[in-house]
Structure 1
Amino acid sequence: MPKDQYPMPEKTDIEAIARRKGSGRTRSWMVAIAVAVIAAGAWFWLAAGNETGAVRYTTLPATMEDIIVTVTATGTIEPVNTVEISSELSGTIRKVHADYNDLVEEGDVLAELDTDKLEANVEQARATLTAREASVIEAEATLREKKDAYDRAASLSAQGISSQETLLAARAAYERAQAALDTAKANIKVAEANLKLVQTDLEKACICSPIDGIVLDRAVEVGQIVAASLSAPVLFTLAEDLTRMDLTVDIDEADIGKVSVGNKATFTVEAYQGQTFSAEISQLRYAPETIEGVVTYKAILDVGNEDMLLRPGMTATADITVAELKDVLTIPNAALRFSPPVEDAAGSSGGGLLGMLLPNPPGRDSGATGAADTDGMRSIWILRDGQPAEVRIRTGATDGSRTQVVEGDLAEGDAVITDMETGT
């Protein structure tokens, strides 16, 4: 077919196709330029914010101070000696002589049981003893009689007047009389023991105070029936002396190695806000106590209570002094937690076009305060000529707010950095 017979595209169609291809390339370049402009603007905005921001450091001086190291523990105040009084006998309470908070002395009657039956038992035992004593007198008279008969029979037998059988019978009667006297004497001892037993029961009917002290609790009323058993009920609870108290606290296993007998302490109770009391450790017990996986040890502290302000059962929080350091170089504990911002070594902007256009922005804080190294040294920062400078130090004891500096290039008065702010 001749060329002129093929249909030729119209000029307007070719121009439209060209325009579409050109517009696609133009649109791609426009998107790329827009992304670049946005990324660059973001980076310059961050950079400008950090360059124009003024860094202000908060500092405190290293000072020579006293460090008092304490261990905190909680516990309960209790009397030094508490006595629980029960009844050894069963019976009915006839009288109650003591009540709550009564001061009592050793031997004072607190309560009495009904003693009618006990008194009757005592009278019976005394009558039995009297009868046994009479039996001894009778046995002694019989013994004398039999001895005289035996002596006469022996004399007559020696003279040939009495037979040998008569002599033997007289001697047997004498020996039986002697045995009867021994039995009567033994019966006296039995009767005396029985009398002492019932008299002891009668004395125990008086429920008396074994100590000088104060009545903390009373659990008995007139007419109450008391049943003595292996677990007899407690009728009275006495405290020996409330002017001296014990504070029993639980010390964590992490702190038990720091405390020792003789350590001084102060403590507070909820009843007297703002008031502190003095105490001293008198005993550290070896037996552990484990509650919900936490191991603690009991410490007993002596407490003076001359003003009678403290009461049994009060909850106390004690601060036990375990070390006192005089005039040592110290820094605030906040300095040990401070670390200036550092660049993230791995980068935080990612890869790709945004990563190339937006490198790590200045001021990004990825640093952290490091712990002590194997030599026990750690870093702090001080302000020298307006710039932070790292100083390696070895720390010692702390009281919770300041820490002792044992070793390091630090002097009294150095401005130790504790915090920083970036302004606009």
Structure 2
Amino acid sequence: MNDAIQDKNRVYENCPTAEEIKSTLEAGTRRRGWPVRIVAVTLLLAAAAAATVALKLGSSGAGSAYDTLQSERGDLTITVSATGTLQATTTVEVGAEVSGRILAVNVDANDRVSTGQILAVIDEEELRAAVDKESAQVAAAEAAIKLSQVTAHETQASFERVSLLKVKKVVSQEDLDTATAANDRAVANLAAATANATLATATLKSATSRLAKATIRSPIDGSVLSRLVEPGQTVTAGFQTPLMFKLAQDLKHMRLNVDVDEADVGRVREGMEASFTVEAYPERKFVSRVLSLHNEPTDSSNVVTYQAVLSVDNEDGLLRPGMTCTATIISETRRDALMVPNAALRFTPPSKQLKRGEKAVGQQETVPLRKVWMLTNDEPVAVELQTGSSDGNMTEILKGQLEPGTPLLVDMKEEA
């Protein structure tokens, strides 16, 4: 500021006085010479310009050399930002469990479906033949059981007669052994026939089940997200089930999966209010809430994130699965807080601008409090503050001699 005052004085010293200007004009009038008049006018213009410069120098002290922003009092909302994609609450992939040619496809993308509704039909010819074959096997097994039962009754009666005759010593021991063996074989054959019948029945059930699976039905109430087959196409069920349809249970209620950075995960909890935007509707904010925060981390290129699941109300049907969203989670709200701009906390005046005895932040060995700078008598003066939460633009002040509306230095003005 002293340099500015000295420059102003030098300008005033070099300016012509009023008496000098008057004398020059009178001399020019007596001589009635145009050159003298021109000189007089030039002197007048120079005096006016010098006065203007002097006034500017006089008004440009230290106070006008800084850009300022004011402290203020209000509500401070602390948020966490994260990106993710919209997903249906329940998504089901429907595939073919049997091989064959597709005879009909009854639904298309975006169609509403209900549980049990037929989506497609696979050719049943070979499957029906398998059912008929297994049905015949069951009939044959049942007949074998009857035959074995008759044989068992016959051998049992023969065994009883031979046993009685042996008691009377009419037959030999060999005859008794033969009758006993025949009876045991008959009992074993009956058991085998019964087991074969059970196996044939199970095989028939399997064949019948495979026949039923040739008719592809919807497992849920919902909508068709995608159809991946066409009539006439052949599907082969092997180690991997051929995918035919993708269904979503209810698109009126969806979920938003977002990746929360590990630096912010400590500020996110279940039940917090949130909002999100999508590129399709950039002017609209959709209300949401945090449903869960997963414990399993995701590491991508050495960046660790945790997945948070947010609720989504899609009653108007504007949102679609797969949309990219930018979510804002409200982690904290400070009511009626005294706040200062973050730019004021970052700014430190040049050392030559500081008042004698004042030190810039960074020149001290320890800084227990943070500093902002204000002007007192056109000189930068530091104010120590205890800071709290920040939203990235404003920071809460917990302790310090500062009033709302105080202009705080945030930058040096660029010289013109």
TM-score (norm 1): 0.77
Q: Which residue does 1:129 correspond to in 2?
A: 138
2:353 and 2:380 in contact (8 A); partners too: no
2:265·2:306 contact (CA, 8 Å) conserved in 1? Answer: yes
Deviation of residue 63 (structure 1)? 2.7
Matched, 1:171 2:180: yes
Partner of 1:238: 247
Q: How far is 1:230 from its partner?
A: 2.4
Q: What is the SS of the residue equivalent to 1:235?
A: strand
Range 114-123 or range 90-99, more displaced: 90-99
- The answer to whether the 8 Å contact 1:84/1:238 transfers is yes
Q: Unaligned regions of 5+ residues in structure 2, if any?
A: 1-5, 12-52
User: Cα 1:419–1:170, aligned 2, differ >3 Å: closer, same or farther?
Assistant: closer
What is the match of residue 407 of structure 1?
399
**Cα 1:221–1:176, aligned 2, differ >3 Å: closer, same or farther?**
same
Query: Partners of 2:141 and 2:414 in 1: how far apart?
Result: 109
Deviations 1:279-323 (A, max 9, x none): 122222333334444333322212121222110011111111111
Change in CA separation of 1:423 and 1:127 when aligned onto 2, cut-off 3 Å: closer
Partners of 1:53 and 1:422 within 8 A in 2: no
Specify the code of the residue in structure 1 equivalent to 2:319: L
Q: CA deviation at 1:219?
A: 0.4
Root mean square deviation, CA, Å: 3.0
Q: CA-to-partner distance for each residue in 1:322-360, whole Å, 9 max, x for gaps? A: 111111111233322444454299xxxxxxxxxxxxxxx
Which whole-Å deviations, capped at 9, do the CAs of 1:260-286 have from their partners, x for residues lacking one? 222211111111131111112222233
Partner of residue 95, structure 1: 104
1:136-175 map, 5 Å: 136-175=145-184
Aligned-partner Cα distance in 2 for 1:400–1:86: 50
1:175 partner SS: helix
Code of the residue aligned with 1:263 in structure 2: it is M
For the Cα contact (< 8 Å) 1:263–1:280, is it kept in 2? Answer: yes
| Change beyond 3 A, Cα 1:168–1:341 | closer
- CA drift of 1:121 comes to 0.7
Q: Answer yes or no: is 1:252 the counterpart of 2:255.
A: no
- Does the 8 Å CA contact 2:99/2:237 hold for their aligned counterparts? yes
Residue 310 in 1 paired to residue 324 in 2? no
For 1:173 and 1:337, how far apart are their aligned partners in 2?
A: 106
**Equivalent position SS for 1:77:** strand
Map Cα deviations across residues 84-115 of structure 1 (whole Å, 9 max, x no partner): 12212221111112211111122222112111
Task: Tell me which residue corresponds to 2:306.
Answer: 297
Mapped partners of 2:346, 2:142: distance in 1: 94
CA contact (8 A) 2:290 2:311 kept: yes
Query: Does residue 286 in structure 1 map to residue 295 in structure 2?
Result: yes
8 Å CA contact retained: 1:54, 1:422: no
Please state if 1:54 is matched with 2:60: yes
- Counterpart Cα distance in 1 of 2:364 and 2:313: 43
Q: Specify the code of the residue in structure 2 equivalent to 1:399.
A: D
Q: Of 272, 275, 284, which residue of structure 2 is paired with 1:266?
A: 275
Query: 8 Å contact 2:273–2:290 — kept in the other structure?
Result: yes
Q: How many angstroms does 1:370 deviate by?
A: 5.5
Q: Distance in 1 between matches of 2:277 and 2:291?
A: 19
CA drift of 1:238 comes to: 0.8
Which digits, 9 at most, give the CA deviation of each residue in 1:152-180, with x for residues without a partner? 22333333433443333223222221221
- Cα distance, 1:378–1:165 mapped onto 2, change above 3 Å: closer
Displacement after TM superposition at 1:414 (Å): 3.2
Note the C-alpha offset of 1:421. 4.7
Q: 1:162-212, CA deviations, whole angstroms, 9 ceiling, x for partnerless residues?
A: 344333322322222122111111111111111112112112212222222
Q: Give the alignment partner of residue 185 of structure 1, picking from 194, 198, 208.
A: 194
Q: What is the number of residues matched between the two proteins?
A: 361
Unmatched tracts of structure 1, length 5 or more: 1-42, 346-366
Report the Cα offset of residue 123 of structure 1: 0.9
Amino acid at match of 2:266: G
In the alignment, which of 324, 328, 343 is matched to residue 334 of structure 1?
343
Rounded to whole Å, the distance in 1 between the matches of 2:278 and 2:125 is 50
What is the CA–CA distance in structure 1 between the aligned matches of 2:304 and 2:91, rounded to whole Å? 27
SS at match of 2:265: coil
Q: Match of 2:76, SS? A: strand
> 1:54·1:423 contact (CA, 8 Å) conserved in 2?
no
Structure 1: which amino acid aligns with 2:125?
A: D
Partner of residue 37, structure 1: none
Q: Distance in 2 between matches of 1:87 and 1:278?
A: 39
Greater Cα shift, 209-218 or 331-340:
331-340
Q: What residue in structure 1 maps to residue 389 of structure 2? A: 397
Alpha-carbon separation, structure 2, partners of 1:252 and 1:395? 24
The answer (yes or no) to whether the contact 1:336–1:369 under 8 Å persists in 2 is: no
Q: Residues 96 and 241 of structure 2 are in contact (CA less than 8 Å); yes or no, is this contact kept in structure 1?
A: yes
CA 247–171 in structure 1, closer or farther in 2 if over 3 Å, else same: same
Please state whether the residue corresponding to 1:412 is helix, strand or coil. coil
* Alignment check: 8 A CA contact 1:370 1:378 kept: no
Q: What is the letter of the counterpart of residue 307 of structure 1? A: D
1:140–1:372 CA distance, 2 compared to 1 (3 A) = farther
Change (3 A) 1:282 1:374: farther
Task: Give the superposition deviation at 1:385.
Answer: 5.6
TM-score (norm 2): 0.78
Q: What is the match of residue 276 of structure 1?
A: 285
- Give the direction of change, closer, same or farther, for the CA distance of 1:286–1:111 in structure 2 (3 Å limit): same
Q: CA deviation at 1:218?
A: 0.5
- The counterpart of 2:374, out of the listed 378, 382, 388, is 382
Look at both structures and tell me which one has the larger radius of gyration over its CA atoms.
1
